[in-house]
Amino acid sequence: MKLKLTMVVLVAAAGLSTAAPMDFDFKDPKGVNNAVFKLDAPLEAISGNATGISGSVSFDPAAPAATKGKIVVASSSLHLGNPMQLQHLKSDKWLDVAKFPEISFEAKELKNVKTTGDTTTADAAGSFTLKGTSKDITIPVKLTYLKDKLGQRIPNTKGDLLVIRSTFTIKRSDFGINPGQSEDKVSDAIELSLSIAGASAH
């Protein structure tokens, strides 16, 4: 009888532990996490990426709607194929990466949550910060929970992975980046695409 009771308690405890939210760290040792940016321009669209991703997201597979967290992109990790465009982009006239080293999005609430298997789609409402200016925006996100897959990426490690993907558009004028200027050369709209994976070791 005592043994049965102990087992029930253990099973319940195990159930509770898996139901608790897990913290996923998005600093990727493989350097695959990336944010792609694209701006329309004459001759050719200005397109590049940033791989200096960090941040943490709290995710509960049993309650994905409660997901919260913050993703940070290091401005200095922005890269473009054309060195002159990259220099302009990082200069004080555009992003001023020396003064504003981080671009971030802090998700505060998930709306329209739909879960199918390991995949959840939702609209994440939160605060986007660029060049020191924060603005509340809502972006579509796709979360894929990969249980026990961390070991496949990083040998001798046990844990889960959380993949987040999102594509959305912001306006540079909303963040004080040369509003109303040079729009014939560089569009006001910036298309952003985020593809990141976080790890939660256990």
Partner 1 sequence: MVSKTLRWLAFLIAVTALVSWAALGANRGWTKTSVPVKKTDEVTGITVDDYQKRFVPGLDLLGAAVFGSALLAGLSFFWDKKKPETV
Which of these ranges, 7-15, 18-26, 67-75, 76-84, lies near partner 1 under the rule CB under 8 A?
A: 76-84
Q: Please tell me whether residue 156 binds partner 1 under the rule CB under 8 A.
A: no
Q: Please tell me whether residue 157 binds partner 1 under the rule CB under 8 A.
A: no
Interface positions, 165-194, toward partner 1 (CB under 8 A): none
Binding residue (CB under 8 A) for partner 1 from 88, 90, 195, 201: 195
> How far apart are the C-alpha atoms of 125 and 35, rounded to whole Å?
18
Binding residue (CB under 8 A) for partner 1 from 26, 34, 71, 145: 34
* Number of helices (H), then strands (E), in the chain: 3, 11
Q: Please tell me whether residue 8 binds partner 1 under the rule CB under 8 A.
A: no
Q: Please tell me whether residue 143 binds partner 1 under the rule CB under 8 A.
A: no
Q: How does DSSP classify residue 60? A: -
Beta strands in the chain (DSSP E): 22-25, 34-39, 46-50, 53-59, 68-74, 78-80, 102-116, 119-130, 133-146, 159-171, 189-201
Total residues contacting partner 1 by CB under 8 A comes to 24
Q: Please tell me whether residue 158 binds partner 1 under the rule CB under 8 A.
A: no
> How far apart are the C-alpha atoms of 73 and 52, rounded to whole Å?
6
Smallest separation (angstroms) from partner 1 to the CB of 6: 37
Q: Please tell me whether residue 196 binds partner 1 under the rule CB under 8 A.
A: yes
Q: Please tell me whether residue 71 binds partner 1 under the rule CB under 8 A.
A: no
Please, what sign has the CA dihedral across residues 35, 36, 39, 41?
positive
Would you say 4 and 181 are in contact if contact means Cβ atoms under 8 Å apart?
Answer: no
Q: Please tell me whether residue 121 binds partner 1 under the rule CB under 8 A.
A: no
Look-up of token digits 């990259």:
86
Amino acid 116 reads T
Sites of contact with partner 1 (CB under 8 A): 30-34, 36, 43-44, 49, 51, 79, 81-83, 85, 146, 149, 152-153, 161, 163, 195-197
